[in-house]
Amino acid sequence: MRVLMDVVDGAEIMRVSGPYRAAIGRVGTMDAQDVYASVLTVAERAKLLDPGLNDAHALYHATHDALVGILRDPAGLGPTFRTIALVYAILRGPRKLELQGERDWIAVAMFGSIGVPRPAWEHDAVGLGIYNL
């Protein structure tokens, strides 16, 4: 699989080869709740989720796990006096290309900055969550 992130005419484009579908989103907030809502909305608009709760439930937990890597502490953002600015990608497809007979998986990868809400008082953070569909 090849994933290419690009900007074409001001729009963010993610080109994914093979049996994968993807979407990109951005969120900046001091309330961790906004991250879950943003990822869910972007995934639905990109038609990455089948009807029913199964896929959305897997996406929720993938988002949660990715956010653990960003926060590295379970107490959230506001209560720990921190703000984040994230770009994230959602990817749906096979766990490994050569695997036959497995249903798809869904992954959320996040990259951005986290820090006390003062100009330039932040450092980078990453997170990745993967769950079975």
**Considering the rule CB under 8 A, would residue 102 count as an interface residue with a copy of itself?**
yes
Alpha-carbon separation of residue 96 from 82, 101, 113 (angstroms): 36, 11, 30
* DSSP state for residue 50 in the 8-state scheme: -
What would the two tokens of residue 97 be?
A: 């290309």
Closest CA to 91 of 114, 79, 109: 109
Least CB distance from residue 6 to a copy of itself, whole Å? 20
**Considering the rule CB under 8 A, would residue 2 count as an interface residue with a copy of itself?**
no
Here's the x/- map for a copy of itself, 62-81, by CB under 8 A: it reads as --xx--xxx-xxxxxxxxxx
**Considering the rule CB under 8 A, would residue 27 count as an interface residue with a copy of itself?**
no
Which residue of 58, 84, 86, 90 would you call a contact of a copy of itself, by CB under 8 A?
Answer: 58
**Size of the chain in residues:** 133
Least CB distance from residue 11 to a copy of itself, whole Å? 26
Which residues are CB-contacts of 29 (< 8 A; sequence separation ≥ 6)? 35, 77, 83, 84
**Considering the rule CB under 8 A, would residue 10 count as an interface residue with a copy of itself?**
no
Least CB distance from residue 14 to a copy of itself, whole Å? 18
Cα–Cα distance for residue pair 63/85, rounded to 1 Å: 15
**Minimum CB distance to a copy of itself smaller for 23 or for 59:** 59
Paired with 125 in beta bridges are 112
**Considering the rule CB under 8 A, would residue 56 count as an interface residue with a copy of itself?**
yes
